[in-house]
Structure 1
Amino acid sequence: MNKPLFLRIVHRLSTEVEYFQPTEDAAGRSGLSPLQKCTAAIRQLAYGGGADAIDEYVRLGETTARKCLHQFTAGIIHFFGDEYLRRPTQEDLQRLLHVGEQRGFPGMVGSIDCMHWEWKNCPTAWKGMYSRGTGKPTIVLEAVASYDLWIWHAFFGAPGTMNDLNILDRSPVFDDIINGIAPEVNFYVNGREYHLAYYLTDGIYPNWATFIQSIRLPQGPKNSLFAKNQEAVRKDVERAFGVLQARFVVVRNPSNLWDKSKIRNIMRACLILHNMIVQDERDSQTLEEFQDEDFTFAVKKTTKHGNRISRRKEVRDPHIHQQLKEDLIENIWDKFGDLQ
């Protein structure tokens, strides 16, 4: 995190959160500064150590450092969550669709996958619900990431016994589409028109119109080229998880907290800070740079007609999925086949 970005966060919290404002005791001595409190919190997130590991660096006790962490995460979520952990706007969708078409996947707006965060101090009564495989309790994070590692969707809190497939029954990833409030997306693949944007996934996800998986055993040059490109582009979400864990070691190490709500706040705050860093570091490519070009997609804000059942059925339609996959195979072969 760059220094100006961190100082902007410190300034926002110190002016709007009472806990981070400068104070004096009865003798007139200054209390802990906002910079000390925010530094204590960010070091716990970045290095993943205990609250007593920073006492010599920022001159804070263990209890105070832990309180700084929870106040910091709550402040980040409250003041920056709506901006940096939002649904894609029309302008965002326009940019994502443009990049997806350049990479050979018209209508693709990101890749989706799940990550497990180990919960070391999970209550004994809950361990059966949160443990599978190795027997270690975990909490699942479902995320959608784009080419620049921006995380557009994050659903955290499902027990570790759930996998990428059955977590979809809880996830709100398609709620906007089912409720009819999502922007309408129209695009063409291989001369055929489609109306639902999709995500790239691994093999465990179902054959829905909004998911495109790779081909497990590709036969022939067209299928092999499609599998190669799909698996390469789908790695965006894997890279996002890797960068998130590298920046904030607290989500890579087992969580030592007891309270699930505090664990959720830490994860959400790390996701928001991750997106803030992405926006601070990425190139200033604006929508106007490619608005004048001729693209085969359109985005507009609309309220879709029909009931929830029909929209849910459309999202899960396996026939649209199969037709879209076949058209994408042809599109990628037409676009990149000459390079083989």
Structure 2
Amino acid sequence: MLNRNREEGHEHLYRDYFADNCVYGAKDFKRRFHLSRDVFLRIANTLESRCRRGFTTLQKCAAAIRLMAMGESPDTMDDYMRMSERTAKESLYTLSRGVVETFGDVYLRKPSLHDLQELYAAHEERHWFPGMIGSIDCTHWKWKNCPVAWKGQYASGHHGSPSLVLEVVASQDLWIWHAFFGVTGSNNDVNVLDQSSIFDDLLNGKASDAPFTVNGNEYKYGYYLTDGIYPQYSTFVKAFRHPVEERDKFFKRRQEGVRKDVERAFGVLKAK
């Protein structure tokens, strides 16, 4: 069996990124791992009990996040982490599953009735839109390391390089409680919406009533702000395409301004 000297790999990683006088600072860490060191350590400390003996939790989490953040191949972990390709793959699986199981109930969930009421209140206070759940939109996420055999499936005439379409719902405080990546093919906002699960509970009669009142009229469910490409659903509120009256022009300005919430969320997600 090959002796990789895993202890040396841990010491090297610790000196570079986690020691009091580490070689690389917080900015370098965030650029290379695509998240802050504090968030990394929170994940690592929480998942420590899941890691089997052998490599340290820092090594396993660092390897897994580098594989996801940089799209590196598992066998590249050998030189720096002293970690085999097999262990790197196992670390990626353990981290992914552990994050979902540990943090899912907090960060990867649909809003409860209490959450919806808080969203209503926040959006009404900040944007003057009572009953608003959030803004829904899609963005194309460039797939830099798309396998060559798949490039034809994920490239379109509009976007020459391979990309995935990400649909999200974002609130004013950057809470992204719905995220769906479109499948292969030439996708736009509408056919991604047709495939996503955002309205599954509503269609299956499982959605909780979340009433709100506007001008004395009570409505059963909240709504999302969208752009003009989305269909005419009662749960979507779009801006007037060609407003004439001053009140319609005012509404268009307000609606388009509020939709900056979701654009800001995309900016945060794509920030390097």
* TM-score (normalised: structure 1): 0.61
Cα pair 2:113 2:210 within 8 Å, conserved: no
1:10 maps to: 44
Alpha-carbon distance between aligned partners in 2 of 1:189 and 1:212, rounded to the nearest angstrom: 14
SS in 1 for 2:47: helix
Which sections of structure 1, spanning at least 5 residues, go unmatched?
A: 24-31, 250-340
1:121-168: per-residue Cα shift (whole Å, max 9, x none)?
3464x5554332234332222111111111111122422412111222
SS in 2 for 1:158: coil
Alpha-carbon distance between aligned partners in 2 of 1:53 and 1:236, rounded to the nearest angstrom: 38
1:35-78: per-residue Cα shift (whole Å, max 9, x none)?
122123334545x2635777676555666545533432232123
Deviation of 1:110 (Å): 0.4
Pick from 186, 192, 198 the counterpart of residue 217 of structure 2. 192
Give the letter for the 1:116 counterpart. Answer: H
1:85 maps to: 108
1:107 maps to: 131
Does structure 1 residue 180 correspond to structure 2 residue 214? Answer: no
1:155 maps to: 180
Alpha-carbon distance between aligned partners in 1 of 2:153 and 2:77, rounded to the nearest angstrom: 34
1:87-114: per-residue Cα shift (whole Å, max 9, x none)?
1012211110101222211110001111
Identify if the C-alpha distance between structure 1 residues 149 and 54 changes in structure 2 by more than 3 Å, giving closer, same or farther: farther
Instruction: Give percent identity, aligned residues only.
Output: 51
Alpha-carbon distance between aligned partners in 1 of 2:92 and 2:229, rounded to the nearest angstrom: 36
Alpha-carbon distance between aligned partners in 2 of 1:7 and 1:63, rounded to the nearest angstrom: 24
2:58 maps to: 35
Cα pair 2:167 2:182 within 8 Å, conserved: no
2:156 maps to: 132
Computed over aligned residues only, the root mean square deviation of the Cα atoms, in angstroms, reads 2.7
Does structure 1 residue 118 correspond to structure 2 residue 142? Answer: yes
Give the letter for the 1:169 counterpart. Answer: D
2:242 maps to: 217
1:160-201: per-residue Cα shift (whole Å, max 9, x none)?
412111222211111111112212122222333222211011
Identify if the C-alpha distance between structure 1 residues 150 and 57 changes in structure 2 by more than 3 Å, giving closer, same or farther: farther
Alpha-carbon distance between aligned partners in 2 of 1:127 and 1:60, rounded to the nearest angstrom: 30
Does structure 1 residue 21 correspond to structure 2 residue 52? Answer: yes
Cα pair 1:22 1:34 within 8 Å, conserved: no
Identify if the C-alpha distance between structure 1 residues 5 and 131 changes in structure 2 by more than 3 Å, giving closer, same or farther: closer
Identify if the C-alpha distance between structure 1 residues 117 and 70 changes in structure 2 by more than 3 Å, giving closer, same or farther: farther
Give the letter for the 1:50 counterpart. Answer: E
Identify if the C-alpha distance between structure 1 residues 153 and 135 changes in structure 2 by more than 3 Å, giving closer, same or farther: same
Cα pair 2:117 2:210 within 8 Å, conserved: no
SS in 1 for 2:95: helix
Give the letter for the 2:170 counterpart. Answer: A
Alpha-carbon distance between aligned partners in 2 of 1:147 and 1:60, rounded to the nearest angstrom: 42
Alpha-carbon distance between aligned partners in 2 of 1:100 and 1:72, rounded to the nearest angstrom: 35
Cα pair 2:59 2:81 within 8 Å, conserved: yes
Alpha-carbon distance between aligned partners in 1 of 2:43 and 2:268, rounded to the nearest angstrom: 21
* TM-score (normalised: structure 2): 0.75
Identify if the C-alpha distance between structure 1 residues 54 and 226 changes in structure 2 by more than 3 Å, giving closer, same or farther: farther
Alpha-carbon distance between aligned partners in 2 of 1:4 and 1:122, rounded to the nearest angstrom: 32
SS in 2 for 1:185: coil
Cα pair 2:225 2:255 within 8 Å, conserved: yes
Give the letter for the 1:105 counterpart. Answer: F
Which sections of structure 2, spanning at least 5 residues, go unmatched?
A: 1-34
Identify if the C-alpha distance between structure 1 residues 77 and 206 changes in structure 2 by more than 3 Å, giving closer, same or farther: same
Alpha-carbon distance between aligned partners in 2 of 1:175 and 1:197, rounded to the nearest angstrom: 15
Alpha-carbon distance between aligned partners in 2 of 1:11 and 1:127, rounded to the nearest angstrom: 38
